[in-house]
Amino acid sequence: MTPNSFSDEEPKRSSALFTLLLVAAVLAALAGLMWSYSLAGRLTHAEAELASTQQQNRKLANALAETNARLSVTSETLGHSLGLTQQQLERRANELLNRQNADTKRLETEQQANRKQISSVSTDVAGVKTDVGGVKTGLSQTQTELQQTEAQMKKMQGDLGIESGLIATNSKELDALRHQGDRNYYEFTLRKKKKQAVGTIALELRKADPKHSRYTLWVFSNDKRIEKKNRSLDEPVQFYSGSKPMLFELVVNKIGHNVVSGYLSTPKNAPKPVTVSH
């Protein structure tokens, strides 16, 4: 390559570089111009919003001033109409506020008292539930004892040859029979040669032999006298009584000197003794 060739290429390179730099400068100028335009738009929008905000603030300030003026006029008018000064109005307002606070405190006190009362009632209910549970337990135990007592009792054949129901030999067993509710039971204590009403009949002890556990008595029923002679302790003594004869039964379970004790058993639908009220 000749020296003249190098000389021709050098200006060409310089011209190309200058062109590139010029294009870059133009692009940068355009970008700056666009950014400035965007910034100006934003600034204009911000200024518009600020102006709008200031205008709204002025409106609010005016409205607030107008409201205060109206309140002032209203207070003055109210004071004049009621014959009260501003100080009196404030005092009345404080009195109303204090009364409201007092009512609030009173309501809170009543609510606390009601809560305490409700708590007390809840405690009482819990106590009642406990008592009911205890009663249920007691009833269950009583029923168990009655069942055990009934299991210990036995049936016997009466002096008329009729099989009796369960025979009670003491007061505990008699209570168990009463609990069944199948028949009526009347306890008695007879003394020798003293006629005594028992239920709807009468009985009279004629003889008591505690040594041999035997006794003799008379039964008065349906205008008749029936003798039950030499009967044994705990023996079912049977007889019929009533206009429609029903089977009555008596049992003597204690024999002493000229005295016996026991009970009379009658059907559930048998006539009841007449009670004379005084």
pLDDT at 7: 52
Could you report the per-residue pLDDT of 202-242, keeping only the tens digit for each?
999 999 999 999 999 999 999 999 999 999 999 999 999 98
pLDDT at 153: 66
Domains in the chain: ranges and CATH: 155-267 (2.60.98)
**DSSP secondary structure of the chain:** --HHHHHHHHHHHHHHHHHHHHHHHHHHHHHHHHHHHHHHHHHHHHHHHHHHHHHHHHHHHHHHHHHHHHHHHHHHHHHHHHT--HHHHHHHHHHHHHHHHHHHHHHHHHHHHHHHHHHHHHHHHHHHHHHHHHHHHHHHHHHHHHHHHHHH-EEEE-TTSPEEEEE--SHHHHHHHHHHTSEEEEEEEEEBT--EEETTEEEEEEEEETTTTEEEEEEEETTEEEEEEEEETT--EEEEETTTTEEEEEEEEEEETTEEEEEEEEETTSPPPPPPP-
pLDDT at 83: 58
pLDDT at 133: 65
pLDDT at 136: 61
Residue 257, both tokens: 């000197």
| Cβ proximity of 153 and 166 under 8 Å | yes
Which residues of the chain fall below pLDDT 70? 1-14, 61, 68-69, 71-86, 122, 124-154, 275-278
pLDDT at 188: 97
Other residues' Cβ atoms within 10 Å of the Cβ of residue 83: 7
Catalogue the long-range contacts made by 133-140 (C-beta closer than 8 Å, 24 or more residues apart).
Answer: none
